[in-house]
Amino acid sequence: MGFSVIDPADLQWETRPSDPGVPERRVAPLTDLAGFTHTRANIFRYDPGSRGRRHRDLVQEETFVVVSGTLSMYLGDPAERHDVPAGGLVHVESGTPLQVVNHGAEELVLYVYGAPPERGHAEFLDSAV
C-alpha cells in the first residue's frame, strides 16, 4: 500500500507568464511531489483580474475544482462564460477550448487534475476576454 501526504509548506510556487499589465497567476506542481504516474495535477492561484491562456488540449482531459474564490471559465467555440463558486467543479474533455479567468475581487485557488499525464499537446488560441 502506498500513499502521499503533502503539507502546504512543501509546495513550490512558480509564477506563470502573463500579458503586460495583467495580474499574476502562480502554480504549485503536484505530479512529482505526490508521485502520480497515470495523471497529473497542479494547484493554481490567480490574483484578481488575472487570466490563463485560452487553449485546447488535444490529448488530456482536465478537471478544475474551485478551492476558493469564483472561477470564470470560458468554454467552447465561440466561448461561453460559466461562473463556478468555491466547491464547484468543471470537467473539460480533450479538444475543448477553455480559458480560466478571475473576474472576482479575491484570489482564485484551483486544484487542476488531468489525464493522461501528457504535456505539450496544447493548441493556444486568441483570448476570449
56 domain residue, yes or no: yes
Q: What's the pLDDT score for residue 14?
A: 97
* Residues in the chain, total: 129
CATH of the domain at 104: 2.60.120.10
**Structural element, H or E, at residue 62:** strand 61-68
DSSP 28: E
- Domain assignment present for residue 11? The answer is no
Q: Which domain holds residue 38?
A: 27-124
The answer to whether residue 16 sits within a structural domain is no
Q: Answer whether residue 74 is part of any domain.
A: yes
In a domain, 18, yes or no: no
User: Could you read off the pLDDT tens digit of each residue along the chain, which spans 129 residues?
Assistant: 689 999 999 999 999 988 888 999 999 999 999 999 999 999 999 999 999 999 999 999 999 999 999 999 999 999 999 999 999 999 999 999 999 999 999 999 999 999 998 777 899 999 999
Number of independent structural domains in the chain: 1
